[in-house]
Amino acid sequence: MPTLYVIEPGAHIEKEYHRLVVAKEDEVIQRVPIEHVSEVVLIGAVGITPPAMVALLDAGVAFSLIRSTGQLLGRLTPPIMGNLPLRHQQYQRALDSEFCLLISKGIVAGKLRNQRTIIRRLCREHKEVNRKFADAISLSLSRITSACDLNSLRGLEGSAAKTYFKALRSILPQGWESVKRERRPPPDPFNALISFGYTLLLQNVMTALELVGMDPYDGFFHADKYGRPALSLDMMEEFRGVIVDSVVLSVINKRILHPDDFTRTTHGVMLKSHALHKFLQQYSSRLQTAVFHPYACRKLTYQKCLEVQARLLRKGVETGADHYRPFHAK
C-alpha cells in the first residue's frame, strides 16, 4: 500500500466514514480509503484532526511530521504489539561485538555493491564517468572481510561513500554543481534532494521494522545516540542508492526539476512547494516499482523489498548474523 503525503500549506486531514479526506478551507483535495494507506507523512504547515488520528492508529497506520526542510519533527505509531522475546534478543545481539561486526559487514557489502552497480550504469550512459570510481569501490568491497572492528568497517564505508558521491557529482548538469556531500544544512539543490529523500526512506524503513516486531532504534552498525533510529539507518544503507539516489538523478537528468525550483533559507536550501509535489510523485513511483528480489525469487515492489529485508534481518537476529542477506540490485 502506498504512503499518503500531505504537503499543501494550510491543508489538514479529516476522517469521513472509513476514508481520509485531505481538505483546505472548504475545498476537498483528496479522498483515500484508510485501508489503502500504509503510512501518512505530513510535510510543512499541514495538520490532522483528532478523529483522523484515532482512525489511523486504530487501523495500525503510523504518521510522521516533517519540516519543509526535510527535518523529522516526530512520529506517532500505534501501540507496539511487538514480539518481546525478539526484542530482548535484539538488545542482547546489539551488545555482542562479534555479531554486530558480522551483520554490519553484510549491510556494508550490500550498500557498496549497489553503489558499484549504479556507477557502472552511469559509465554506460555517460562517457565522462571514470570507471576508476567503480574500481575504487570494488577495492573497498574486497577489504570488508578483513575489517577487524566496526571502526575499520565504518572507515571503508566512508571512503566508498566519498568515491560514490564524487561519481554522481561528475554527471550533474550546469546549475546543479555540488562541492561535496553535506547534510546540515544542505548547501545546494543536489544535497537538498538527497537529504530529503533519505528522510522519506527512513520513515518507510522504520515502518517495515515495526511491522516485523523489531525496535527501529537499537542497531548494530550505526552507533546508538539518544533519539537516533540506529537500526533503521542500518537497514536503509543498501537502499539509499537504488531508491533515493536513483530518483534524484532521474529528476535532474530528465529535467523534471530545475535549480530554480529551490529556495535558500536559514535552514539551508529547500524545495519550493510545486517542486516538492513533483519529487514526491517520483519517489512514490519508485517505491512501487517492481524489481527482482534475489531471495524471494520473484518481482516485488521496492516497498515490499523493505519488508522482506526487515524479515531477513529479524531472522539474522533469531538464528545468527550469517543468515542475513543484503538486497542486491541487478
**Same domain (yes/no): 154, 60:** no
Domain boundary among 76, 95, 110: 76
**Same domain (yes/no): 169, 297:** yes
**Same domain (yes/no): 27, 103:** no
State the Cα–Cα distance between residues 215 and 153, nearest whole angstrom.
23
Residue-wise burial string across 181-192, b where 16 or more C-beta atoms lie within 10 A, e elsewhere: bbeebbbbbbbb
Q: Note whether residue 297 is domain-resident.
A: yes
The reported pLDDT for the residue numbered 82 is: 61
Q: Is the pTM of this model over 0.75?
A: yes
Q: Note whether residue 329 is domain-resident.
A: no
The reported pLDDT for the residue numbered 81 is: 59
Evaluate the omega torsion of the peptide bond into residue 185 and state whether it is cis, within 30 degrees of 0. yes
Single-letter code of the amino acid located at 225: K
The reported pLDDT for the residue numbered 136 is: 92
The reported pLDDT for the residue numbered 187 is: 84
Q: What is the mean pLDDT of each run of 10 residues along the chain (330 residues)?
A: 80 86 84 86 85 86 80 77 82 94 95 94 80 91 94 94 92 86 83 92 91 90 83 95 95 93 82 89 91 83 92 91 83
Q: Note whether residue 286 is domain-resident.
A: yes
Q: Where are the alpha helices (DSSP H) in 150-301?
A: 150-169, 189-211, 230-239, 246-253, 273-287
Q: How many helices (H) and strands (E) does the chain have?
A: 10, 12
**Same domain (yes/no): 185, 268:** yes
For helices 97-125 and 230-239, angle between their N-to-C axes, nearest 10 degrees? 30
Question: How many domains are there within the chain?
Answer: 2
The C-alpha cell that represents 161 in the structure block: 561513500
The reported pLDDT for the residue numbered 93 is: 94
Q: Note whether residue 22 is domain-resident.
A: yes
Q: Note whether residue 328 is domain-resident.
A: no
**Same domain (yes/no): 90, 72:** no
Q: Note whether residue 330 is domain-resident.
A: no
The C-alpha cell that represents 244 in the structure block: 533515493
**Same domain (yes/no): 166, 69:** no
The reported pLDDT for the residue numbered 152 is: 94
Q: Give me the domain span that covers residue 52.
A: 3-76
The C-alpha cell that represents 173 in the structure block: 548538469
**Same domain (yes/no): 57, 171:** no
* In contact, 40 and 47? CB cutoff 8 Å: no
Q: Note whether residue 210 is domain-resident.
A: yes
Q: Note whether residue 65 is domain-resident.
A: yes
CATH number of 22's domain: 3.100.10.20
How do residues 209-253 score in pLDDT, each as one tens digit? 988 889 999 999 998 776 689 999 999 999 999 999 999 999 999
Q: Residue 245 contacts by C-beta under 8 Å, 6 or more apart in sequence? A: 118, 168, 194, 197
φ and ψ at 22, to 5 degrees? -95, 120
Q: Residue 4 contacts by C-beta under 8 Å, 6 or more apart in sequence? A: 20, 22, 32, 37, 39, 40, 41
CATH number of 98's domain: 1.20.120.920
**Same domain (yes/no): 90, 205:** yes
**Same domain (yes/no): 202, 294:** yes
**Same domain (yes/no): 90, 21:** no
Give the HSE-up count for residue 3: Cα atoms under 13 Å, Cβ half-sphere.
32
**Same domain (yes/no): 52, 89:** no
**Same domain (yes/no): 90, 221:** yes
* In contact, 106 and 321? CB cutoff 8 Å: yes
Domain boundary among 52, 76, 100: 76
- Cα distance from N-terminal residue to C-terminal residue, the chain: 24
